[in-house]
Structure 1
Amino acid sequence: MAFTCPHCGAIANTRTSRMMSAKLREARHQCSDLECGHTFATLTEVVRTLSPSAKPNPLVFIPYGKKAQPPDDRQLDLLADTAG
């Protein structure tokens, strides 16, 4: 993923990244404009669910967005029955 340099507006390419938690990633970016040379870090966070996972992690809580609906437990049971 690339960001725009906040100083000159050029593309800043991702050089490295690391998981901070199941919902948070830190990335380091380098501006592609050699005259600018800005290097900076960003944080990317999962903030809401748009479509529920078919394999949810019970240790991770991600709130549902306004239009997303929690899955019906009966639907999950049906999916489990057809998977095996």
Structure 2
Amino acid sequence: MRKGFVQCPHCNAPATIRTSEWVNETVKDLYLICLNTDCGHTWKAQLAAVFTLSPSAIPNPQINLPMAPSDYVRRRYPESAREPGNDPGHDPRQIPMFG
């Protein structure tokens, strides 16, 4: 599954966002369609800002988004994925930028 795609909850095929509309400053309704023509499922989902991981350098005083809970642990790649050649986004044909 490529990043940026949503899976259809019925057939697990990629889906695309057809349209969207803001509910408020931190919630957006998304209208999706499954790209599997045999399935054709359409549905509504929501995208919501839940909490802040790093504060904004230009905060909007009208937005009250709490900081992440103190026990929140961000997802990390396993050590094996961080080794050269094991990174799923690594392209060995890419010229190194810093070294």
Q: TM-score under structure 2 normalisation?
A: 0.64
Q: Of residues 19, 24, 29 in structure 1, which corresponds to 2:32?
A: 29
Structure 1 Cα separation of the partners of residues 5 and 48 of structure 2: 16
Q: Of residues 51, 54, 59 in structure 1, which corresponds to 2:57?
A: 54
The number of aligned residues is 67
Render the CA deviation track for 1:25-46: whole Å, top value 9, x for unaligned.
0011100000100000100110
Percent pairwise identity: 37
Structure 2 Cα separation of the partners of residues 56 and 13 of structure 1: 31
Structure 1 Cα separation of the partners of residues 5 and 23 of structure 2: 19
Q: Tell me, which stretches of 5 or more residues in structure 1 are unaligned?
A: 68-84
Higher helix share: 1
Residue in 2 that maps onto 1:65: 68
- Residue 39, structure 1, aligned to residue 48, structure 2: no
Structure 2 Cα separation of the partners of residues 22 and 55 of structure 1: 15
Structure 1 Cα separation of the partners of residues 48 and 10 of structure 2: 23
Q: Once the 2 structures are TM-superposed, how far is the Cα of residue 19 of structure 1 from its aligned partner?
A: 1.1
Q: Tell me, which stretches of 5 or more residues in structure 2 are unaligned?
A: 71-99
Specify which structure has the bigger relative contact order, considering alpha-carbon pairs within 8 angstroms and separated by 6 or more residues. 1
Q: Once the 2 structures are TM-superposed, how far is the Cα of residue 66 of structure 1 from its aligned partner?
A: 2.9
AA of the residue aligned to 2:19: T
Moved over 6 A (4+): none
Structure 1 Cα separation of the partners of residues 29 and 48 of structure 2: 9
